[in-house]
A and B are shown apart, each in its own frame.
Chain A
Amino acid sequence: MTDTAITILGAGVVGLCVATELTARGQRVQICEKAPEPGTQACSWWAGGMLAPFCEGETAEEPVVRLGQEAADWWEAQGVPVVRNGSLVVALGRDRNELTRFARRTAGHRTLDAEQLAQMEPTLEGRFSKALHFQEEAHITPRAALKTLWQNLQSRGVQFASATPVSGRIIDCRGLAAQDDLKDLRGVKGEMVVLRCPDVSLHRPVRLLHPRFPLYVVPRGDGVFMLGATQIESGERTRPTVRSILELLSAAYALHPAFGEAELLEIGTDARPAFNDNLPRIRQRGQRIYVNGLFRHGFLLAPAMARQVAEFICDDIKPEVMDENLSEW
């Protein structure tokens, strides 16, 4: 237990998770954040909220798959409703080979035939002859989850203020804004769409594989769906393009034509912070610890990152994702 409070910069998903882990271990924490509540200032506002470590293993490296498996239990422990229905992966007829490839590169799935798929998701009856079911995966509603963490912290007496402190330990969770200090951090633009479509009912996230336009659809309940997400090598945080939104919408239409009559609720865009290997990092420089580079895995990896930061500060356990290469400093 320290006398001076630890200051956390940024109240995106990483900052809030780190604050949660530190306060749970009895540390005094204050959060430096300009905005009065969770919102568009953080890229986690636009997240899909899939807790899908096994699916991510298709392209992500091993630490993502392993550390991501902590996420579902962690979120549930914070009082966030976690839907544990697994997730589905499908491909259209002519892209059937993509499903074979995806299955080969991932673990934790079983293959469903058309009938089993129809039982699980009646909406998709007759649309796909085969699907992969990742039973252990889950999903949450990101914006509600951010609000829950924020409220939990407030009720534990954590102060949220916009003034930057001049002394004491700082944990920098500013995401892409930390580019001023972390020169090897880059932005990867993402675009997403929110729809209301009462004609479609899904109980779990569905990924539609396509060689060029992969799509995921996450059910938010009450007929609301989030479609995501593009991945463009650009640090631009605004300006969703027609082409990207066309891709997302046409992929959704291909998943189920009823999406054609959906109500368009929201189009969002932002840039995710990432390092060159798209893996997250914890870095220390003097009194400041940086937690960054969670890429497209904010809600999936923030719990494990937060745990490691807290173990480092409270128990002096060196995090496995701690950066060894400090030549930059």
Chain B
Amino acid sequence: MVEFYGTAVSSRLMLGTAQYPSPAILADAFQRSKAGIATVSVRREAGSDQAGADFWALIKELGVAILPNTAGCHSAREAITTAQMARELFDTDWIKLEVIGHTDTLQPDPFALVEAAKALCADGFKVFPYTTEDLILADKLLDAGCEVLMPWGAPIGSGLGLSNIYGLRTLRAQFPDVPMVVDAGLGLPSQAAHAMELGFDAVLLNTAVAKAGDPAAMAEGFAGAVQAGRLAFEADPMEPRDMAAPSTPVIGKAFLS
């Protein structure tokens, strides 16, 4: 079990809901992944008069916790407005805060992110900020009132895995008690397992599953990897060493070959 803002979630895998070939395949992927949380974008789908309501109804039917996101927002103001709309639509004070600073890399804008996080936390939101692995930025987000951090593995949709392992490890070590979710950039289950082995509390991904040839199978693959990685972390893995470590003593052997 992992807790976010006091809510226990059974699965350490979170899935996005964009770019699947169809809602039916999306539902299959969720079923096989046993993901506990679904993120949903609202900025573009909202339109006027709740035009996205049909799709959102399908997401609600998945029976998992919903974490609306502010994907597609490029300023603090836009993100705040979108969060307020999401709160109405999904009847939740959770918000995955994305403020994009660069359209090509989809890198977060750290300054606008902190500004929006401050305003939303003050307004009673439970903010899940999509951030880089930067320590100072993490500190400012916690100061702003965030109780969860979502550092990126690599740029959104890139499938590159963990591009700065040192940075992620440092971030984890610096804030050992803050729930952290590696969000974005994962392409393969092995990369998700790696993130979990580093001690992150969960992973969030979308493209790696949605754009796979068989999204439901890939979702199940990620679920297994997340579980394996978490078990390994909890099991306190051995330390690597340069020399072989024979499992039977060499000196004093009764018989020399």
Contacts and interface: CB of A to CB of B under 8 A. Distances in A.
Given A105-B213, A243-B44, A276-B58, A236 B51 contact: yes
Interface string A204-238: 00000001100000000000000000001111101
A234 B22 CA distance: 14
Given A235-B54, A276-B27, A276-B58, A189 B47 contact: yes
Interface residues of A, number: 25
Interface string A266-282: 00000100101111000
A233, A274, A276 — most chain B CB neighbours (10 Å): A233
Given A234-B45, A236-B47, A243-B44, A60 B52 contact: no
Given A189-B47, A243-B44, A234 B55 contact: yes
Consensus secondary structure, chain B interface: loop
Contacts of A60: 21
Interface in A35-54: none
B23 interface: yes
Interface in A76-91: none
A66 interface: no
A34 interface: no
B25 interface: yes
Given A212-B157, A243-B44, A276-B58, A234 B21 contact: no
B157 A234 contact: no
Consensus secondary structure, chain A interface: loop
A232 B48 CA distance: 13
B22, B55, B58 — most chain A CB neighbours (10 Å): B22
A274 B44 CA distance: 19
A277 B22 contact: yes
A258 to B, nearest CB: 23
Contacts of B211: 211
A235 B44 contact: no
Nearest to B21: A59
Interface in A235-258: 235-236, 238-239, 241, 243
Nearest to A241: B44
Given A235-B47, A238-B48, A279-B22, 18 more contacts: A61-B22, A105-B213, A186-B23, A211-B207, A211-B211, A212-B157, A232-B45, A233-B54, A234-B46, A234-B47, A235-B53, A235-B54, A236-B47, A236-B52, A243-B44, A276-B27, A277-B23, A278-B23
For the complex of A and B, the 3 pairs showing the least CB-CB separation, nearest first, are: A236-B51, A236-B47, A277-B24
